[in-house]
């Protein structure tokens, strides 16, 4: 084999290698829901200002294109944290996030494509620990869970936004207290409800007693007024009215006007 043939084979092999490099590295397609950021080792390094949109792109083989999925990602985090009194509580939290579309370069520079594990998860854990640590177990069990969720959302959102990640939602799926604590809380709640029930009954009894006292005082006052107004003449008039009504009865009777000792009519006989 002569030198010319060897040279031809070498050049053909080099050309084939270059073809493979160019076809695999130079032409790139970014899909919908993705963005790209390019690193140019010979001309400025990472280009943070220019973000590549979905579509077909040509990239020099010595440059590197990093493609990011910018759709929402859901992270579920189960962890154990301490309440304000040192009690261990299990918390199950879900967050939905996505990177800021036009800040992919800055996110790549600081955290890389694995930002969900290098940035988001640590921030979620930190926020949950800080917020849960401000509350008593009784507060987490019932009345203030929505407030806790809102506070965690606010803390995570504040920290992620500084690093070009958008927080869409935070959800506390479960807060699990030790069984003995749950039993103690439920017993306390039942005792409080029972006490409120008895207090209500006592209030009703007191109101009923007050009503009866007022009613009795009213009757007593009414009788006093009535007694003070009843003269002998009024009593005689009332007696006459009653006698007249009796006289209208069908029973046989004899009425003697003025026959009574007090001057009232006297009724004699009758069937």
Q: What mean pLDDT is predicted for residues 147-169?
A: 92
Specify the pLDDT at position 184.
61
**73-177 placed in CATH 3.30.479.30:** yes
pLDDT band at 20 (very low <50, low <70, confident <90, very high): low
Per-residue pLDDT at 251 exceeds 90: no
Per-residue pLDDT at 253 exceeds 60: no
In the chain, domain spans: 3-69, 73-177, 181-229, 232-268
- Of residues 246 and 257, the one with the higher pLDDT is 246
pLDDT band at 227 (very low <50, low <70, confident <90, very high): low
Specify the pLDDT at position 182.
55
Residue 92, beta-bridge partner list = 78, 174
Q: What is the value of pTM for the model shown?
A: 0.60
Specify the pLDDT at position 183.
61
């Amino acid at each position: 084999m002569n030198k010319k043939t060897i040279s031809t084979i070498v050049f053909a092999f080099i050309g084939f290698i270059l073809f493979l490099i160019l076809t695999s590295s130079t032409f790139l397609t970014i899909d919908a829901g993705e963005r790209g950021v390019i690193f140019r080792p010979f001309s400025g390094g990472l280009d943070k200002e220019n973000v590549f949109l979905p579509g077909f792109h040509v990239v020099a083989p010595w440059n590197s294109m990093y493609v990011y999925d910018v759709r929402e990602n859901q992270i579920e985090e189960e962890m154990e944290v301490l309440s304000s009194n040192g009690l261990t509580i299990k918390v199950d939290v879900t967050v939905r996030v996505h990177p800021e579309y036009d800040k992919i370069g800055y996110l790549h520079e600081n955290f890389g494509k694995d930002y969900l594990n290098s940035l988001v998860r640590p921030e979620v854990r930190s926020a949950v620990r800080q917020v849960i640590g401000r509350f008593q177990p009784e507060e987490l069990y019932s009345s203030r869970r929505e407030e806790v969720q809102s506070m965690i959302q606010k803390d995570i959102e504040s920290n992620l936004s500084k690093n070009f990640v958008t927080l869409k939602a935070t959800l506390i799926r479960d807060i699990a207290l030790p069984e003995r604590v749950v039993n103690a809380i439920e017993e306390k709640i039942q005792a409080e409800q029972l006490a409120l029930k008895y207090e209500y009954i006592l209030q009703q009894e007191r109101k009923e007693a007050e009503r009866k006292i007022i009613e009795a005082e009213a009757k007593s006052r009414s009788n006093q007024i009535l007694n003070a107004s009843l003269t002998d003449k009024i009593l005689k008039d009332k007696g006459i009215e009653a006698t007249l009504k009796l006289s209208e009865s069908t029973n046989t009777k004899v009425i003697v006007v003025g026959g009574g000792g007090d001057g009232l009519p006297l009724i004699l006989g009758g069937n």
